[in-house]
Amino acid sequence: MDTYQQCIIPSCGRTHDVSEVLTGCICGNLLDVKYRSRPDKGLKEVFYERRSSRGNIFDESGVWGFRELINFVPGIDIEDYDSYSRVLVTYDGDEGKTKPFHLTKVAQYIGIKPENFWLQFEGNNPTGSFKDNGMATAFTHAKMLGVKRVACASTGNTGASMAAYAANELFMEGVVFVGEGKIAVGKLAQILAYGAKILEIKGDFDDAMARIKEAANKRNIYLVNSLNPFRLEGQKTIMYRVLDYFDWEVPDWIVFPGGNLGNTAAFGKAFTELKEWGWIKKVPRIAVVNAAGADTLYTLYNDWKLKWNMGNVDDEAIEEYYSYLDEKDVKAKTKATAIQILKPVNLKKALRTLELLDGVVEEVSDHEILDAMAVVGKNGFGCEPASSASVAGIKKLVEKGIVEEDETTVGILTGHILKDPSSIIEYHSNLTNRFANPPRKVENDLRKILAAIETD
Ligand SMILES: *Cc1c(COP(=O)(O)O)cnc(C)c1O
């Protein structure tokens, strides 16, 4: 398959070779990975069979099972194991083994028909978040180029995922920039355990992101943040798995949290390409959910009416908004730390997705996020706070009549319950919370213990 990188702005449209490591086009805008050929629809059957295959870790991988649609490595034979297994990176076939499922109590809480509502739990990835989907492809590009050092700015999950993949690739060193004190305990523990170097910057994620871009320009560092277009190729498979589950029928709505907006970018690209290739007849609508304390996309899209506008984005409006944030010293603030981001790197790609998929952007308070998280937990699954922004967002959209009760809706749960256990314990220990389930302290006395069992 013949591949290249291209600027997302049509009036520029510059192309670059796949072997170039770029954080953007020379005009300053984001890049896409582009494929010249049009994949054959017969592959739908192939993907289906791979899902039940044993022994070939690339067939088993929820990312590489779809490898013909994300085949950016020049000169490999995608049907020959010996050829592709030398370059493609997988965590022993374990990334992306997810599919949509029903959660009845969550559907009832939202006020939507349970049979029309699914959640796809990306927390079931090897390092506990959807980031592994993108790390498999970003590391493949890095390996293809012989990279020795990878780096990212992170609110935690990108760092954890990168650290694990770097450790697996033996000769790759990982460096993670985090905002000091801004990362949940499970994620910090993972990064330390997997052996990456962690730099705690005195500042927040947006500071860490700005600094790492500068550092990457000065040193030979390969960035795996979602401005890396090859990482987003892997995240497209999150939507391929939704479609595979529905026999390539397209649901009405896809709902997910928005932080750095990598998923917004990747999902939009996935559906747009499939439509261009004639694989699907329509695209779904999407809803991106911001936390109220980190709501740049919500504000710019809904209040400032910032639009993709066929690639003619109003750059001055973005600059004006960002200078306003700087002048007023506005900082992102939410308990959903994975989406505590005010200057999302994929803003323009997100605007493109919103236009092509007739999207909406919603925002939810921490209170709404944490109640929703508790309800997901009550189903026996659970997730971290940023993930339940999906659920809180759908609930709000149903209340507003934007998502209708009988529309088919798939929400994405982005991260695992054990990523941020402190926020869960804090929620359940506070009796003023709607679904609080606090530990009960009882004296070491059988009668009192028996009484406590019977008390609500
Ligand atoms: C990274 C992350 C997000 C944000 O995703 P973007 O693609 O950056 O918008 C949301 N939830 C969790 C758990 C994450 O790790």
Could you please report the per-residue DSSP string of 170-185? SS-EEEEEEETT-S-H
For residues 201 and 162, give the distance between their C-alpha atoms in angstroms, rounded to a whole number. 18
Asked whether the beta carbons of 369 and 385 are under 8 A apart, the reply is yes
Residue 53: predicted pLDDT: 67
> Which class for 320: exposed (0-12), middle (13-18), buried (19 or more C-beta within 10 A)?
exposed
What angle do the packed helices 131-144 and 229-245 form, to 10 degrees?
130
Q: Which of 157, 158, 364 to mutate to test the pocket of ligand 1 (most atoms within 8 A of CB)?
A: 157
**φ, ψ for residue 256, nearest 5 deg:** -160, 160
Q: How far, in Å, CA of 255 to CA of 284, rounded? A: 10
- Phi first, then psi: what are they for 359, rounded to 5°? -85, 165
Please report the atom of ligand 1 found closest to the CA of residue 261. 9
The first and second tokens of residue 57, run together, are: 């870790």
CA-CA distance, 430 to 435, in Å (whole number)?
A: 10
Q: How many CB atoms sit inside 10 A of residue 189's CB?
A: 15
Rounded average pLDDT per 10-residue block, the chain, 456 residues: 91 94 92 94 91 85 97 94 96 96 96 96 98 98 95 97 95 93 94 96 94 89 96 98 97 98 98 97 98 98 97 97 97 96 97 98 98 96 96 98 95 98 96 96 96 91
Ligand 1 geometric centre to CA of 12 (Å) = 29
- Amino acid identity for residue 451 in this structure: A
**Any ligand 1 atom below 6 A from CB of 226:** yes
pTM: 0.95
Backbone dihedral region of 182: left (phi > 0), alpha (psi from -120 to 50 degrees) or beta? alpha
What pLDDT sits at residue 440? 92
Indicate the top mutation candidate among 158, 228, 414, 417 to test ligand 1's pocket, ranked by most ligand atoms within 8 A of CB: 414
Q: What is the pLDDT of residue 271?
A: 98
Q: C-alpha distances in angstroms, 390 versus 51, 232, 255?
A: 27, 20, 6
The two three-digit tokens of residue 377, written as one number: 């937990």
DSSP-derived pairing of the beta strands 197-201 and 285-291: unpaired
Rounded Cα–Cα distance for residues 107 and 365 (Å): 20
Q: Answer whether 385 contacts ligand 1 (Cβ < 6 A).
A: no
Residue 77's SS3 state is coil
Q: d(Cα 342, Cα 331) in Å, to the nearest integer?
A: 7
